[in-house]
Structure 1
Amino acid sequence: MFRPLSIFIGARYTRAKRRNHFISFISMTSMIGLSLGVLAMIVVLSVMNGFQREMSSRILGMVPHASVLGAQPLDDWRPVAAEALKNPEVIAAAPLTEMEGMLSYKGSMQPIQVSGIDPAEEGKVSIVAQHIVQGRLEDLKPGEFGVVIGEITARRFRLNVGDKLTLIVPEVSSAPGGITPRMQRLNVVGVFKVGAELDGSLGLMHMADAAQMQRWAPNQVQGVRLKVKDLYAAPQVSKAITASLGEQYRADDWTHTQGSLFSAMKMEKTMIGLLLLLIIAVAAFNIIATLIMVVNDKGADIAILRTIGATPAQIMGTFMVQGSLIGIVGTLIGGVLGVVAALNVSQIVGWLERVSGQHIFTSDVYFISTLPSELQWGDVALICSAGLIMSFLATLYPAWRASQVEPAYALRYE
């Protein structure tokens, strides 16, 4: 079968056992370094994707994806919800009233955001019902001023179901100070734990009780909470709905409250990816050193090839093939091992915990107790492409050096 001269000789040089074992060692080191770099990037980016998925599902499963809020309290939220559900991006809608205040218990205080909800409708737009660890969401009854708090808040105040605490909310008044605190005694009817900072900053109460604290009618709410298909389309969806409803409504979405967190996670993933890319760059520089030493070692062979008619382009192609093969094999090995490790990283960490007897991720310290991983084939393709491109670029200078060897000079001492 016909094969180009450059590919035939380059592949043979790669397979041949060199007289200089140091060159062989450097070649193997370059291949291993490239494999480790690709493996590390795939595993680390997959773990970061897993963390982002967990944080998205937990935090954005609790906070509204989008909200349609009225300039005045809504007497009936259902027409607004019906209008919102006409948008194909909206999955579900539920009433919502939000307040900010302070929780007080035995002299200790902490800020909190309280959401007035309808327990019968909340399950359509929130995951809180699946994360109740004490009590029940259905125990929020109108007029009883029950509250469901997060696990961090309950642990900080040492609260259990049945305990009572005080909610302090600011109220605008005609007093000289302009704002006076309003206090309400609340009864803890449930505790939720989603494994995020919301466990210490969010509380839930019945919308009728929230309306009473705001001095509204029992059936009045602040707005409607929406659950959408595409989280990143939430700003456009909420704006389109408010535009159809009129100027007396305004839009809000998760990017206003949680956008900075997810922007920081995205930037962190980018920066860590760039830092890990340096490992691949170091391995590519090793390929340069390997090929330069091979060119010096094969000076006589290059001269002979030139004297029998090989062109500089063929000589250059020969060493480009040799260096590229190192990059291809190293990238493929690292890619396969990285995919296998990323798919089984949770099991690997669990095995290490069982062998060492130590918990790497404990629920008392971290928001999650396992190491999540989400392999994205787009990341794998990007990482492997970067490894192959760097390996190819690393061959250009040594191959060009080889093509410039003068036969008479190389054979002078042979």
Structure 2
Amino acid sequence: MSVEASAARTPLAGAFGGFERQMAWRYLRARRKQGGVALIASIAFLAVMASVAVLVIVMSVMNGFRSEFIARVLGVGGHVFVTTAGFSPSEASAARDQIALLPDVVSIAPLIEGQAFATVRQGGTGALVRGVRREDLERAAFRAVDERGPGVACPLPAPTAGDAVGCFTEGGLYRFEEGAEAIPRVMIGYRLAQSLGVRAGEQVTLLTAQGATTAFGVAPRRKSYEIAGVFDFGHALYDQSLVYLPLDEAKLYFNRGDSIDNFEIRVRDPDDLTLVKRQIAEIVGGSFLVLDWRDQNDTIVNALAVERMVMRLILMLVVSIAALNIVSALVMLVRNKSRDIAIMRSMGAERGTILRIFMLAGAAIGVGGALAGAILGVVFCLNIGPIQDFVARVTGADVFNSEVYFLSRLPAKIEYWEVALVSGWSMFMAFLASLPQAWRAARLDPVEVLRFD
């Protein structure tokens, strides 16, 4: 009975039947005489595994960085901003009332912003002062309104887009008072507090050029405030520059009168702003400037998108190059097994059977490497926090400097459809890399091989 007939009678016969699988696995196993084949096959397997794992890890970290950055930006500020500077309080109030009626609008908060110089006896640094209402901070910015203590993390893990993101290391919102009888106090970021050398309950002086108007021009304004709380947003840009001041006090400090600078609007879906932004623009007409969070952070958002696309293409090429190692393994395998091929052909095996055997041998390396790499990458990402801490302890270096990357931890967000895409791509490249040598094996002339053997 021929080899082909024997394969056809097996219940697993088909595109890759039991005979083909048995022969492919036999050829890939280590043998003393063909140790080089096993070694090269192992190297090809490890190359595919490493490239897939690296691609999964890098893409997950980039996804995590983008999601974390956007979540913290949206947690601190609004989703849509309407600039009202230069317009009367009645015009701004009328626009606010109409915007609040839109179905997708969750909240609308008045805001005053200005630059100031925060000083103490030891020195000073620039600061962004935001005049806000306490109720808006409670609703939007802070997940924990009471003191957590130095070094204590916020009570929840990484936020999602639009969630509150901050907590207090000292003090809290309970000391951020409003009203005519209240003592004006400020809240500052913990990095700003560290640079100034101050704590909650101590004094900080704010100096601004936007003071009272006199006969000689605008006079600078200088005023000292007690620190009500020190907050941590986990975002270096905010933690080292942001100062919160009660809204009414900010109006006095920046000489705004009854006017405000902006409305911060929070919507149900910050990723889909087209409709609500158009509705807001129709309400305010051409009188007010309407921006969203993408407009205010367009440089870094676009940079992240471009970097993500380019990095994905580069790493896809790396996976493709790693899959080409399968060619080397099959070249040696075909050369070492040419006599076996000739014998099988002489016994009746068709070219398709030989083709499938060597295609399966190459594909097994690629599929196994892809699956192992995907699992390795996912496990790495799920444990990226402890791995970061371990590397930092061993090397003594800060592997993720928050002053450079704005975030205090290395983030990772696994998109499983991307893992499947990467694995599928590596498997496809493995099949593609196996085809030329499998075709060469199938076209060997058994007479010529046995004649010169």
TM-score normalized with structure 2 length: 0.78
Which of 375, 380, 385 matches 2:414? 375
Which runs of structure 2 are paired with 1:335-414 in the superposition (5 Å)? 335-350=374-389, 370-414=409-453
Q: Paired residue for 1:102?
A: 117
Per-residue CA distance 1:81-100 (angstroms, 9 max, x = gap): 44334434332221112223
Q: Distance in 2 between matches of 1:201 and 1:39?
A: 38
Q: Paired residue for 1:136?
A: 172
Mind listing any 5+ residue stretches in structure 2 that lack a counterpart?
1-10, 146-165
What is the number of equivalent residue pairs in this alignment? 410
Per-residue CA distance 1:174-212 (angstroms, 9 max, x = gap): 989xx7453231303332221211112222112222222
Q: Paired residue for 1:182?
A: 220
Offset at 1:254?
1.6
Which of 187, 195, 200 matches 2:234? 195
Two-structure CA RMSD over aligned residues (Å)? 3.3
Equivalent AA in structure 2 for residue 184 of structure 1: R
Change over 3 Å in CA distance of 1:175–1:380 after alignment to 2? farther
Change over 3 Å in CA distance of 1:82–1:381 after alignment to 2? farther
SS at match of 2:325: helix
Q: Paired residue for 2:203?
A: 163
SS at match of 1:124: helix
Offset at 1:297?
1.6
Offset at 1:117?
0.8
Per-residue CA distance 1:220-247 (angstroms, 9 max, x = gap): 3223211223333246533421212333
Change over 3 Å in CA distance of 1:163–1:351 after alignment to 2? same
Which of 30, 42, 45 matches 1:31? 45
Q: Distance in 2 between matches of 1:137 and 1:238?
A: 31
On the 8 A contact 2:212/2:220 being kept in 1, the answer is no
Which of 42, 46, 63 matches 2:77? 63
On the 8 A contact 2:79/2:293 being kept in 1, the answer is yes
Which runs of structure 2 are paired with 1:158-307 in the superposition (5 Å)? 158-160=197-199, 161-170=201-210, 180=218, 182-187=220-225, 188-196=227-235, 197-218=237-258, 220-234=259-273, 236-307=275-346
Offset at 1:289?
0.6
Offset at 1:163?
0.8
Q: Distance in 1 between matches of 2:229 and 2:90?
A: 28
Change over 3 Å in CA distance of 1:280–1:13 after alignment to 2? farther
Offset at 1:114?
1.8
On the 8 A contact 2:212/2:255 being kept in 1, the answer is no
Q: Paired residue for 1:45?
A: 59
Equivalent AA in structure 1 for residue 57 of structure 2: V
Q: Distance in 2 between matches of 1:245 and 1:113?
A: 27
Offset at 1:140?
4.0
Change over 3 Å in CA distance of 1:301–1:85 after alignment to 2? farther
Offset at 1:7?
4.1
Q: Distance in 2 between matches of 1:5 and 1:59?
A: 53
Mind listing any 5+ residue stretches in structure 1 that lack a counterpart?
none
Q: Distance in 2 between matches of 1:322 and 1:86?
A: 65
Offset at 1:250?
2.3
The answer to whether 1:323 aligns with 2:359 is no
Q: Distance in 2 between matches of 1:172 and 1:289?
A: 79
On the 8 A contact 1:327/1:388 being kept in 2, the answer is yes
Q: Paired residue for 1:15?
A: 25
Change over 3 Å in CA distance of 1:136–1:400 after alignment to 2? same
Per-residue CA distance 1:39-79 (angstroms, 9 max, x = gap): 23223332333333332332321122211222514348665
Offset at 1:3?
0.4
Offset at 1:308?
4.8
On the 8 A contact 1:5/1:314 being kept in 2, the answer is no
On the 8 A contact 1:302/1:402 being kept in 2, the answer is yes
On the 8 A contact 1:339/1:375 being kept in 2, the answer is yes
SS at match of 1:247: coil
Q: Distance in 2 between matches of 1:186 and 1:174?
A: 22
Equivalent AA in structure 2 for residue 97 of structure 1: I
Equivalent AA in structure 2 for residue 119 of structure 1: R
Change over 3 Å in CA distance of 1:158–1:349 after alignment to 2? closer
Equivalent AA in structure 1 for residue 173 of structure 2: L
On the 8 A contact 1:211/1:217 being kept in 2, the answer is yes
TM-score normalized with structure 1 length: 0.85
On the 8 A contact 2:212/2:218 being kept in 1, the answer is yes
On the 8 A contact 1:105/1:166 being kept in 2, the answer is no
Q: Distance in 1 between matches of 2:12 and 2:24?
A: 19
Offset at 1:275?
4.4
Q: Distance in 1 between matches of 2:320 and 2:302?
A: 27
On the 8 A contact 2:210/2:254 being kept in 1, the answer is no
Offset at 1:252?
1.7
Offset at 1:306?
3.9
Change over 3 Å in CA distance of 1:190–1:180 after alignment to 2? same
